A and B are shown apart, each in its own frame.
Chain A
Amino acid sequence: MAGGATIEGSNTTATYEQARTWLLLPAWITLAVLVLTPVLLMLVYSFLTKEFRGGVIWEFSFAAYEQFFCDRGLFGDDPCSMEWTYINIFWRSIWQAGLATLLCLCIGFPTAYFIATRPERVRPMWVFLITIPYWVNLLIRTVSMRFMLREEGPVNNFLTWTHIIDEPIQMINTNFAVQVGLFYSYLPFMVLPIYAAVERYNFTLSEAAADLYATKWVILRRVLIPTVKPGVIAGCILVFVPSLGAFLAPDLLGGAKNFMIGSLIEEQFKGNAGNWPFGAAASMILLSSVLVLLMIYARSQVRPRRVHSEGA
C-alpha cells in the first residue's frame, strides 16, 4: 500500500515536486552555513594536535580518538589496553536518555491524546499550558524540582502522609533523579508533536474498529498508535537525542557524581582539561552514532505512510 500513489499517476505524486528545491533551500542554506560549517570545523579539530589549555595546533594527530579507546594508565605510559571509561559514560547516557524518553512517552502520550480530544476551541489553550512552565529558566525550575524531591520535601511528605511509604525515600542524587531531570527538561517535546499528529486522527477509524468488535485497548494499539506513529517518533527523537548531550538538570538533581556525555564534552572546552580535539572527537563519535540511527529511520520513511487512510 505504501508508495502506491507514486506509481499511479504523476498528478497524485508529489504535489510540490517542482517547488521542492525552493522549499528546502532556506533550511539548507541556514543549516549548512550555521551548523554544518562549525561541525566540519570540529571534525577537522578532532584530527589535530591539542594545544595545552585549549585550542589546537595544526598538525594531524589521531591522539584524540586514541584517548577515547586506549587506556594507558594514570601516567600515560603503560601499553595500550581497552579503555572502557568513555564507552561506559556513553552507555550510561544512552541508557538514562532512553529511560527518560520512555517516561516522557508514558506521561506525554495520554496528555497529548487528552488535549487532542478537547473541543477545538480550547486546544490551543491547552498547548500553551504545556509550554508556559518552560518560560521560566531551567536552572530556577531545577532548583525548585530539587526542593520538591528532597528528603523532607513535599513529595516525600505527601507519600508518607498517605502511608504509601513509611520512611522518606532518598530521591535526589540518585539515578532516578537524573532521569527525572531529563524527563522534566524535555516533557513538552514529547507532548506537542504527538498532539499535532493525534489532532488529525479520524475517529471514524476507531468507530469502524469498534463495530468489528475490537476493544478500546486493541483499537489504541492496532489503529490509533500506528496512525499517529510519526508524531510519536518525532517526540521520541526530540526527547532522546537532546537528552544524550544534556547535563545541567540531570547533574543538579542527580549530583553529577558521574559524567554524562554532555558534561564530559563540556569539561574539555570549559574545564581545566582544555582538550579541544578530544572534546571534538567525542562529539563526532556521538554525532555519527546518532546520525546513523536517524538515517535508518529516514530511509524507512521515504514515502509517508498511507496504510490507514480514510474509508479503508
Chain B
Amino acid sequence: MRSQTLNIRNYTGFASMTVVCLLILYLPLAVVAVYSFNASQSIVAWEGFSFRWYVDVFTGLESEKFKLAARNSFVIALTAATVSTMIATLAATGMTRGGRFRGRTLSFGLISLPLMVPEIVTAVATLIFFNTIGFERGLLTILLAHIAFCIPFAYLPIAARMQGIEETYEQAAQDLYATKRQAFTKILLPLMMPGIISGFLLAFIISLDDFIITNFVKGAGVETLPTAIFGAVKQGIKPNIMAISTMLLGFSIVMVTISYFVSKKDDEV
C-alpha cells in the first residue's frame, strides 16, 4: 500500500502513450527533413543527397519572396497570438470570476463563434465586410482577422485552467491588504500561466497555419507561407519548402534546448 501511495503519480502506460504521441508528431517531420536534402525537385521520390534546396532558400530565384512570406507569417502569428491571448485572458477572468450574470452563456457563445463558422464563410464574409466599410486590404486586415479567430483557441485552455483555481487564494491576498490589482497580477496571473502559455501556443500555430481566411483578406504584396505554398499550384511543391520547414524546426528545437539550460541555471542560482 505504501509503495502505491509513493508512486501515485505514475500510471503504467502513460509514458509509453507519450512516446507514441511524440512519434506521431515527429515521424512525418523526419520525412520532411530527409526530403529537404533531396537532389531532385521531388518531395516523394528520393534521388540522392544534396544541399541544393538549402542553397535555393538563400539564393534561389524566389528566395526573397519566400523569406518575406516567412517573415510575414511569423510577425502576424506572433502579434495575433499575443493580442488574442491578452483579450482571452481578460475574458476568461471575467467569465470565471465575474459570478453569475445575464449574458454569460451568450458571451461564451460569442467567444466560441470563430470555431463554429467554416473558414471559407468567415473568409468571404470578412472580405465583404472590409470592402463595405472601405478598409484597405493588407497586413492589418490579416492581423485583425487572425486576432478574432484565435481568441477561442487561447480562451479555452485559460478558462479550463481558471476553473481549477480556487478564489480563496485571491481572497486570502486581499485579506492581507493586497489591492485587487495586486491580487490579480501577483496571485492569479502566475497561477494562470500554464493556461496562458498553452493558449498562446495554440493561437500561434492556428494563425501560422491559416490559409483560407488569409488568402481572402490579404492585400497586394502580402504573402504568408501558407498562401505561398498553396498558391504555388502552377509550379508544384518543391523541396525548398521542406528546407525552410527543416530550418524552422531546427531553430525552434535549438531554442527549446537553450531555454531548458537557461531555466536549469536559474534554478541553481
Whether A associates with B in a native complex is: yes
**Residues of A participating in the B interface, judged by any CB pair closer than 8 Å:** 5-6, 11-17, 19-24, 26-28, 30-32, 34-39, 41-42, 45, 106-108, 110-111, 113-115, 117, 121-125, 127-141, 143-145, 147-148, 154, 184, 187-189, 191-193, 195-197, 199-201, 203, 206-207, 210-211, 213, 216, 219-220, 227-228, 230-231, 233-235, 237-238, 241-242, 245, 261-262, 265-266, 269-270, 276, 279-280, 283, 286-287, 290-291, 294-295, 298-299, 301-306, 309-310
Residues of A contacting B22 in the complex (Cβ-Cβ under 8 angstroms): 129
Pick 19 A–B contacts, CB within 8 A, sort by A. Answer: A14-B97, A24-B95, A27-B107, A31-B148, A38-B122, A39-B122, A106-B17, A111-B18, A111-B21, A113-B14, A114-B15, A132-B249, A135-B248, A143-B44, A148-B31, A200-B194, A203-B8, A210-B1, A265-B121
Q: How far is the CA of A131 from the CA of B254 in the complex (A)?
A: 14
Contact B120 A127 (CB under 8 A): no
Closest chain B residue, CB of each to CB of A45? B125
Closest chain B residue, CB of each to CB of A124? B197
Q: How far is the CA of A276 from the CA of B119 in the complex (A)?
A: 14
Q: Which 8 A-B pairs have the closest CB atoms?
A: A14-B99, A38-B125, A23-B94, A20-B98, A110-B17, A34-B148, A144-B28, A192-B198
Does B59 interact with chain A (Cβ within 8 Å)?
no
- Residue count of chain B within 8 Å CB distance of chain A: 123
Contact A35 B149 (CB under 8 A): yes
Closest chain B residue, CB of each to CB of A141? B28
Does B55 interact with chain A (Cβ within 8 Å)?
no
- Tell me the smallest distance from the CB of B250 to a CB of chain A, in Å: 10
Q: How far is the CA of A111 from the CA of B202 in the complex (A)?
A: 16
Q: How far is the CA of A270 from the CA of B212 in the complex (A)?
A: 10
Q: Pick the contact of A134: B24, B208, B225 (CB < 8 A).
A: B208
Contact A30 B151 (CB under 8 A): yes
Q: How far is the CA of A298 from the CA of B163 in the complex (A)?
A: 13
Q: How far is the CA of A265 from the CA of B117 in the complex (A)?
A: 11
Contact B113 A125 (CB under 8 A): no
Contact B110 A28 (CB under 8 A): yes
Contact B267 A16 (CB under 8 A): no
Contact B237 A139 (CB under 8 A): yes
Question: Which B residues between 86 and 117 are near A, CB-CB below 8 angstroms?
Answer: 86-88, 90-91, 93-101, 104-105, 107-117
Question: Which B residues between 8 and 67 are near A, CB-CB below 8 angstroms?
Answer: 8-11, 13-15, 17-18, 20-22, 24-29, 31-32, 35, 43-44
Q: How far is the CA of A24 from the CA of B123 in the complex (A)?
A: 25
Contact B256 A125 (CB under 8 A): yes
Contact A16 B93 (CB under 8 A): yes
Residues of A contacting B167 in the complex (Cβ-Cβ under 8 angstroms): 5, 12, 15
Interface string of B148-186 (1 = CB under 8 A from A): 110111011111111111110011001000001001100
Given A197-B164, A238-B156, 4 more A-B residue pairs with CB atoms under 8 Å apart are A15-B170, A139-B230, A184-B28, A298-B108
Residues of A contacting B117 in the complex (Cβ-Cβ under 8 angstroms): 35, 38-39, 42, 245, 283, 287
Given A148-B31, A184-B24: A140 in contact with B241 (beta carbons within 8 A): yes
Contact A143 B5 (CB under 8 A): no
Contact B98 A35 (CB under 8 A): no
Given A42-B125, A310-B166: A192 in contact with B157 (beta carbons within 8 A): yes
Contact A136 B32 (CB under 8 A): yes
Contact A107 B21 (CB under 8 A): yes
Question: Which B residues between 129 and 156 are near A, CB-CB below 8 angstroms?
Answer: 129, 144-145, 147-149, 151-153, 155-156
Residues of A contacting B28 in the complex (Cβ-Cβ under 8 angstroms): 133, 141, 144-145, 147-148, 184
Contact A117 B10 (CB under 8 A): yes
Contact A134 B17 (CB under 8 A): no
- Tell me the smallest distance from the CB of B24 to a CB of chain A, in Å: 7
Q: Pick the contact of A304: B147, B163, B195, B198 (CB < 8 A).
A: B163
Does B229 interact with chain A (Cβ within 8 Å)?
yes
Contact A113 B11 (CB under 8 A): yes
Q: How far is the CA of A19 from the CA of B151 in the complex (A)?
A: 20
Given A35-B117, A234-B159: A241 in contact with B112 (beta carbons within 8 A): yes
Interface string of B209-244 (1 = CB under 8 A from A): 101100000000000011001100000010001100
Q: How far is the CA of A143 from the CA of B97 in the complex (A)?
A: 44
Closest chain A residue, CB of each to CB of B224? A137
Q: Pick the contact of B241: A31, A122, A137 (CB < 8 A).
A: A137
- Tell me the smallest distance from the CB of B108 to a CB of chain A, in Å: 4
